[in-house]
Amino acid sequence: MDLLDKINSPQDLKKIDRSQLPRLADEIRSTIVEVVSQTGGHLASSLGAVELAIAIHYVFDTPADKVIWDVGHQAYAHKLLTGRRDVFSTLRQHGGISGFTKRNESAYDAFTTGHSSTSISAGLGIACAKKLKAEKSKVIAVIGDGSMTAGLAYEAMNQAGDTHKDKDLIVILNDNDMSISKNVGAISSLLSRTFSAGKLQTWRKEFGEFLKSLPKIGNNVYQLAKRSEESFKAFVTPGMLFEAFNFDYFGPIDGHNLSHLIYILNNIKQLEEPVLLHVTTTKGKGYRQAEKNPTYFHGVGCFDIDTGTCRPRAPGSAPSYTEVFGKTMVELGRNDPRIIAVTAAMPEGTGLTEFAAKFPERFFDVGIAEQHGVTFAAGMATEGFRPVVAIYSTFLQRAYDQIIHDVCIENLPVVFAVDRGGLVGEDGPTHHGQFDLSYLRALPNMVVMAPRDENELRRMLLTAVLYDGPIALRYPRGKAEGVTPDEEIRPLEIGKGQVMTHGDDLVIFAVGRMVSEALEAARLLRKDGLGATVVDCRFVKPLDRELITGLAEKIPNILTVEENTLHGGFGSAILELLSDCEIRYNRLRRMGLPDMFVEHGSQDVLRTKYGLTAASIAAEAAAMLSPGKNACPLKMAGVTSRSS
């Protein structure tokens, strides 16, 4: 690693002879594979962008020149080249560096990212700001072909190519023919329409021979023919699309050929107008296992470098909630031809690959286009189908307007399978699903529920597809509780909770995966002679009014627990209900996530830090019941209190 060890900034990179850069690329790949095998992370995309990161920092004057990495999960080489080599082993670990770009982590991270298709919009904003400040530095937006399936990218290009043709913006399209899964749609087809260099050379030679055969051909005719050749090239490559947006198009070129990349970038940086450079790369480049299976290695846990295999699940351990959802979709889909599955470029991530294989005519991958996916599902619902829209909680936020206007206003039977609800772990604040209970329960006509275990998830999914209106079931990332599922799936009664244990000292209202923590907390409290009634509320909206108010009147010490932001969440809903019903209580405390964007770290570390464990719940309950304890909020994160 003698080359990489010498690089603490892009200024050090520029001192390396060009002939040594391929060796540096190999060292960077080796480092990325070594670290990600221990920490997990976005491996395949970063391996494919190594030469691109080297060339950009070799040619441009960063951080004065601003580089924006769309999504950011392809930016590991960028991190290694910009002063984070010594801390790269802390990637995605609590207290370590982020798996994405973050402005407060490095001056070289021009924009904080985590969701796709934002780079061109942000880049244009930065370019316009630089124009106003009379600054001459460059703005480079690196965007993947998967991100080009989202409308936001074209909204930005539409503005850049029309009213801002004088703005100095370079867009680099990193085309690896994939997003997380295989790309879909017409844009993907267009990007694949390229002639190899050999075919273009053959055509050029034949065209030249034809011109020579013409009598008295002059220079003007030759120049016209040369321009025609370029027009032909633009027609048979994606250039026709980007030229229509008034971007100067260059490419496609080999994104792993450092000499060519550096040459092209040096030429392009002389231009002062919107430019798009199209480079083709191989996802997983340099690590055979990732090249063979780039989808698997897009976001991967710890793995063995030699074999590429992840640590096997312990025999008899529970499946993940995502796996349970996917298998239940297949089970229900066999008996109900109305069930449609919709996902936004994540069939594997949402557990829908088996459904897609068994019912291909009823499976729709809309690309990275959550807004379109929700409205598309609404359209299908108007024709009598039961579309199930499976999207991670953090990505469903992007379609909030469509949920309101196109689903809820018309009270359409669209099912939202909200995966990764709550704390997701190492991907951090851009990926935590900490707001969905709040933003969904605010909507008229919407039903919101969360299962305590995999059996309840199965029952909720059946409940959802039978319901005649908008309904969301929210479940966490990670393995389920390991309960034995019922042989026959039975629907739940909408808005009805379940008392799990009885006790006279306090009542704990819990929802989702917090129910199991509350039950364990009740067991710990019994050791201290305290009795807790634990309720699995099941539904955040509508709440079980009769059950909740009845218990609150009998047991006036109340604790609510949720893995969601406290603002407007499940605990707030309980408070509102008790207030509306004028129920008096002694003490009420809410446990959940504080009013902040939670940092990255493992789920266990974060749940411990923010008090979402059985031990923390038991400690809070005991403190609540202590004689003479005042009702002021505790200082620990994620807890607020209130007394009547």
d(CA 359, CA 357): 6
Give the mean pLDDT of the chain.
Answer: 89
Tens of pLDDT, residues 339-365: 999 999 999 999 999 999 999 999 999
Residue 224 makes CB contacts below 8 A (sequence gap 6+) with none
504: domain CATH number?
3.40.50.920
Residue 304 in domain: no
Q: Does one domain contain both 382 and 243?
A: no
* Residue numbers of the domain that contains 223: 195-236
In a domain, 488, yes or no: no
Lowest mean pLDDT among 58-67, 178-187, 426-435: 178-187
Higher pLDDT, 543 or 1: 543
* 185 and 228 in a common domain: no
Output the pTM of the full model.
0.88
Residue 189: inside a domain: yes
175 in the same domain as 242: yes
Cα 13-14-15 angle, rounded to 5 deg: 90
Catalytic residue among 84, 130, 138, 283: 283
**Residue 535 φ/ψ, nearest 5 degrees:** -120, 125
The pLDDT value recorded for residue 164 is 61
Query: Does 504 lie in the same domain as 469?
Result: no
Q: How many domains does the chain have?
A: 4
Instruction: List, for residues 494-536, the tens digit of each pLDDT value.
Output: 999 999 999 999 999 999 999 999 999 999 999 999 999 999 9
Establish whether 283 is a catalytic residue.
yes
Last residue of a domain, one of 474, 490, 506: 474
For residue 594, give every residue at least 6 positions away whose Cβ sits within 8 Å of its Cβ, in sequence order, or none.
Answer: 565, 566, 610, 637, 638
Q: How confident is the model at residue 167 (pLDDT cuts 50, 70, 90)?
A: confident
- Residue 398 known to be catalytic: yes
Residue 507 contacts residue 535 (beta carbons within 8 Å): yes
Same domain, 96 and 205: no
Which residue type occupies 500?
A: M
Model pLDDT for residues 328-343, shown as the tens digit of each residue: 999 999 999 999 999 9
Residues 545, 631: one domain?
yes
What is the domain-level CATH number for residue 273?
Answer: 3.40.50.970
The reply to whether 297 falls in a domain is: no
**Domain presence at residue 597:** yes
d(CA 613, CA 608): 6
Are 448 and 507 in a shared domain? no
Residues 42 and 160 in one domain: yes
Looking at the structure, do residues 348 and 447 belong to the same domain, yes or no? yes
In a domain, 485, yes or no: no
Sheet strand arrangement including 339-343 = 363-365, 339-343, 386-392, 415-419, 471-474, 447-449, 539-541
One domain, residues 450 and 363: yes
Query: What percent of the chain has a predicted confidence (pLDDT) above 70?
Result: 86
Q: Place 640 in a pLDDT band, splitting at 50, 70 and 90.
A: low
The answer on 121 and 17 residing in a single domain is yes
**pLDDT-wise least confident of 192-196, 242-246, 543-547:** 192-196
Establish if 179 belongs to a structural domain: yes
Question: Which of 66, 167, 285, 398 does the annotation list as catalytic?
Answer: 398
pLDDT score recorded for residue 474 = 98
Same-domain pairing of 175 and 209:
no
Q: What is the mean pLDDT of residues 622-635?
A: 64
Catalytically annotated residue among 51, 370, 454, 562: 370
Nearest in space to 4 (alpha carbons), one of 22, 45, 61: 22
Which two tokens mark 477? 């990332």
Residue 308 domain-assigned (yes or no): no
- Count of CB atoms within 10 A of residue 606's CB? 23
